[in-house]
Amino acid sequence: MKIEGGKQIPSPLIVSRIAQLLPKDRQDELFLSYCSTIFPERDALFSAQNRKSFTPTQDEPAVRSMPLPKKVETSRLSKGSLLSTPQFNSITQTKIHYLTFIVIALARAAIPLDELKRIFPEETIDRALFDLTEARVAHVNAQGEYRSVVNDLRFPPLAENPELKEAFDRMISWERDIPGRFSFETEFDKLQLRRCTKRSRELIQQHCKLLFDVVRISEDSNSDVNQEVVFLDLFLSFGNLPG
């Protein structure tokens, strides 16, 4: 459905029917969040200080173990936005920071804090979430669920920022731990060593670039059914051997 995929905002009638299933104070939260989505330029009118405070009960325990940062203005970052150096440094300061960012960025819906703590039992997950939200690369809603501000943030170009090389090297190392940590199913694990002509070299390079282009656009092809995550780590080199 378009609503489930985030492509269309539900009508006031649908929101009203959903609200009827919630407690009164939760209904107010829903309507204020809905208004904030429709009128982002008037977000201050629907901000947290204008909402009724909600005290968790035994049925609805509090999930926040750290103070929540200020609400992120998602309009400041659009799809394909380039991360600033401070934002990049926040993401790459520790392995947990980076992996948490990756999980949130690839998620199709906001993730509750208790689920993130199940994925990352390390105590530093609270610090990571706080830092990512403060850096405006993650957003936490009123229910304590986290999501990326946008799903296509671009890292600063290494060629223009050579001082970030160590951070990029750490990222590559951490990314290679993802398949094992999350029990990905390996489709291919092959190695070939052959002699080739210059023409073959160019053909191989073109096919590799095409493969990465296919992976890059796969996320946008059908957002309603892209339930899996693909991990592609390709190392291609050319050189000379004796003889």
- Mean pLDDT for all residues in the chain: 77
In a domain, 22, yes or no: yes
Q: Which residues of 164-192 are buried (b: 16+ CB within 10 A; e: fewer)?
A: beebbeebeebeeebeeeeeeeeeeeeee
In a domain, 17, yes or no: yes
Contacts of 48 (CB under 8 A, 6+ apart): 71, 142
In a domain, 209, yes or no: no
Helix, strand, coil distribution of the chain in percent, nearest 5: 50, 5, 45
78 pLDDT higher than 50: no
| pTM (two decimals) | 0.60
* The pLDDT value given to residue 124: 82
Domain span at residue 50? Answer: 1-62
Domain count, the chain: 1
The alpha carbon torsion through 94, 99, 100, 102 (nearest 10 deg) reads: 130
Check: CB of residue 81 under 8 Å from CB of residue 150. Answer: yes
In a domain, 170, yes or no: no
Mean pLDDT over 182-198 rounds to 90
The number of CA neighbours under 13 Å toward the Cβ of 105 is: 18
In a domain, 243, yes or no: no
In a domain, 13, yes or no: yes
Cα 81 from Cα 155, distance rounded (Å): 9
**DSSP bridge pairs for 111:** 146
For the record, the structure tokens of 162 come out as 């050579």
Check: CB of residue 163 under 8 Å from CB of residue 169. Answer: no
In a domain, 38, yes or no: yes
Cα 165 from Cα 187, distance rounded (Å): 30
Residue range 203-223, pLDDT digits in tens = 999 999 999 888 888 776 566
Q: CA-CA distances (angstroms) from residue 111 to 56, 127, 162, 165, 232?
A: 19, 16, 34, 31, 24
Collapsing DSSP to helix, strand or coil, 146 comes out as: strand
Residue range 28-76, pLDDT digits in tens = 777 677 676 766 656 666 554 454 444 444 443 333 344 444 443 433 4
In a domain, 6, yes or no: yes
The region of weakest confidence among 43-57, 134-148, 223-237 is: 43-57
* The pLDDT value given to residue 202: 94
